[in-house]
Amino acid sequence: MRPIGIIHSCYREKFGIPRQPGLVKSARGEVELLPPCNREEMFKGLETFSHIWLQFLFHEAVGDGWRPTVRPPWLGGKERVGLFATRTPHRPNFLGLSVVRYLGMRKEKGKLFLDISELDLLHGTPIVDIKPYVPYSDRVEEAANGFVRFAESEISVRFSPEADAACRQYEKECGRDLKTLIHEVLKQDPRPASQRKQQREYGMLLWEMNVRWLSDDTGFTVLSVDERDKKMP
Ligand code: SAH
């Protein structure tokens, strides 16, 4: 297989990426189509669909290998289940599958892009196939969520005045609503299950910004939002 495209994403590192697509509505990205798949005619008609399936390579998991069983965060990070009962990136062929919102095709500087949102993919992810999502057969009303217990997060997310100002400045400069993105990402609680009870500081990259936040009993506080190069040691 050869990649047909490559993802440009707001997620610049693995930490912070939601566990599935559709959870962070303001996540934005694009598929840069690569030759020989950068021809408009290959996507004619795709604009009639609102969502698409992306099949991709978990390229940053390949080096770590895989194990037959894993500890999914839904089970408190303690209980093990079979890898094929999960959506873990660490699988024998490292293939991922995500349904994302399709916003349309764009041409820029001789390159062809598909704009997407609500993704859960890392920047640089190689895409191996694209298909329309068709609810008439893909949506399964009576499907069970298994051991995945998804509940709206109760975590409160606050911003320090400095972080708030930095988000507003960023939005002024490049038109991206970084504050909403940070808010939605933190609401998903990206902390590993084993660290849920500790007070701790975390850092994550969104676009080219380094976001520092503190977790304690009262919730999460975004401390600062700085350009990546200014990252503290
Ligand atoms: N919806 C996909 C992905 C689920 S796993 C599927 O079901 O196949 C989601 C996690 O994959 C994210 O939390 C992120 O940390 C990780 N991830 C996303 N892109 C990746 C990549 N290119 N390499 C390794 N891990 C990646």
**Tokens 């390949």, located at residue:** 62
One-letter amino acid of 158: R
Distance between CA atoms of 143 and 146, rounded to whole angstroms?
9
pLDDT band of 233, cuts 50, 70, 90: very low
Ligand 1 neighbourhood includes 59 CB (under 6 angstroms): yes
CB 10 within 8 Å of CB 206? yes
Q: Please tell me whether the overall predicted TM-score, pTM, comes out greater than 0.85 for this model.
A: yes
Domains and CATH numbers, the chain: 5-138 (2.40.30.70), 157-227 (3.30.2310)
Q: What is the largest CA-CA distance in the chain?
A: 54
Alpha helices (H) in the chain, listed in sequence order: 135-138, 161-174, 178-187
Atom nearest to 15 CA in ligand 1: 15
* Cα–ligand 1 centroid distance for 58 (angstroms): 6
Among the listed ranges 27-41, 82-96, 99-113, 185-199, which one has the minimum average pLDDT value?
185-199
Q: Which of 54, 120, 125, 150 to mutate to test the pocket of ligand 1 (most atoms within 8 A of CB)?
A: 120
Strand pairing category for 209-216 and 219-227: antiparallel
What are the pLDDT digits (tens) for 92-104?
999 999 999 999 9
Q: What is the DSSP letter of 79?
A: S
